[in-house]
Copies of this chain bind each other. A is one copy, B any other.
Amino acid sequence: MRTHQLVLAWIERQLSDGALSVGGRLPAERALAEQLAVSRTSVREAIRILEAMGVVRAGVGSGPEAGTVVISDPTAALGSALRLHVATQHLPVSDIVETRILLETWAAARAKPDAPELELAATLLGEMDAVERVARTADDFLALDIRFHLALADAAGNAVVSAMMGSLRESIQGYTARFTANLPDWAATASRLQAEHRDILAAIRNDDGAHAATLVAAHIEGYYREGGVGPAAEE
């Protein structure tokens, strides 16, 4: 077994045992290296991997922001992994869109009408209206749009689905932004999207999960079809 994997195993063990939990700090790199009788290089390689996995955050200097602390950001790991594999052309964008529809449809059907995340979703709806009125820039709108959809996914109360939703969205964000910039009439598209958003949120609040799911599927499919991407497109 390679040395950095030994370090990884040690840290994972600490996490499983509860000796290390979210918010906790790893020993300093030099100290950990000495403790495990390995070089600092190997410790750093392990930490690099954990950082890429969204398990720790490393900060220089002193104080609360410094040191290597345990966090939990599964979305980061899944997102960059998916993005890289999309880059290798081995994960078709159409499959990602299809999966997104699957997960988000399920989330919409499952979300409870009184889920607190729906408040955030409603707020984001209002902000998107404001952005539309004032600036009419697609970028700002899309940033809010992403958060809206993530809020809906969160409302289903499944951390794995939430993380996957976020990562799917992140992995094709560049793709989405590119074709959005080329839409002929962004203002019209935006107002249509907003109307659909409102309908989805209303359906969930009416406890009509089946209807909400249908609306979500149509919403996402329609958007990507407009941009020429989708389950039907051949990448």
Contact = CB atoms under 8 A, between A and B. Distances in A.
Interface of A: 4, 12, 15-16, 18, 21-22, 41, 44-45, 48-50, 52-55, 70, 72, 74, 77-78, 80-85, 87-92, 95-96, 98-99, 102-103, 106, 158-161, 163-164, 168
B12 A84 contact: yes
A55 B72 CA distance: 23
Contacts of A54: 81, 85
Nearest to A100: B160
Contacts of A80: 53
23 contacts: A12-B83, A21-B88, A22-B88, A22-B90, A44-B45, A49-B52, A54-B85, A55-B84, A72-B88, A77-B85, A78-B78, A78-B81, A82-B160, A90-B159, A91-B159, A91-B163, A95-B158, A98-B158, A98-B160, A99-B160, A99-B161, A102-B102, A164-B164
Please give the count of copies of this chain that the complex contains: 2
A52 B72 CA distance: 17
A53 B81 CA distance: 6
Majority secondary structure, A binding face: helix
Given A21-B89, A53-B52, A89-B21, A74 B81 contact: yes
Contacts of A168: 160
A163 B159 CA distance: 18
Nearest to A52: B49
A224 to B, nearest CB: 14
Contacts of A41: 41
Contacts of A77: 77-78, 81, 84-85
A48 B84 contact: no
Contacts of A22: 88-90
Given A52-B52, A81-B53, A16 B96 contact: no
Contacts of A83: 12
A131 to B, nearest CB: 29
